[in-house]
Amino acid sequence: MLYAIIATDAPQSLENRLASRPAHLERLEQLKSEGRLVLAGPHPAIDSNDPGQAGFSGSLIVAEFASLEQARQWADADPYKAAGVYVDVQVKPFKRVLP
């Protein structure tokens, strides 16, 4: 089943985000190579594809997991969470309708 991982960034976390990004992306690449990643990306803190020093307000990942518990475990092990980038992470079942 698909699950949406919706994370909220801590204020002033851009430096930690940038430092942890390679490890974060490595985990996403693993999901992608397994054919389980639907989409992933950050929410810019301002209305721009390149928010610069404004940074990001959070992230969205939609991926396939065997269960809600496995999706939560995967989200809990994210390097952004360990680095204090994420202050809140919600994991919800997701039903893809389009495309």
Question: What are the structural domain ranges in the chain?
Answer: 2-94
In this predicted structure, what is the pLDDT of residue 67? 98
Q: How far is CA 33 from the centre of its chain?
A: 17
The CATH number of the structural domain formed by 2-94 is 3.30.70.1060
Which pair of tokens denotes residue 69?
A: 């518990």
Among 61, 60, 62, 59, residue whose Cα is nearest residue 96: 62
Q: What is the largest CA-CA distance in the chain?
A: 37
Could you read off the pLDDT of 39-92 as tens digits, one per residue? 999 999 999 999 999 999 999 999 999 999 999 999 999 999 999 999 999 999
In this predicted structure, what is the pLDDT of residue 38? 98
**How far is the C-alpha of 2 from the C-alpha of 46, rounded, in Å?**
28
Give the mean pLDDT of 86-99.
97
**How far is the C-alpha of 94 from the C-alpha of 50, rounded, in Å?**
28
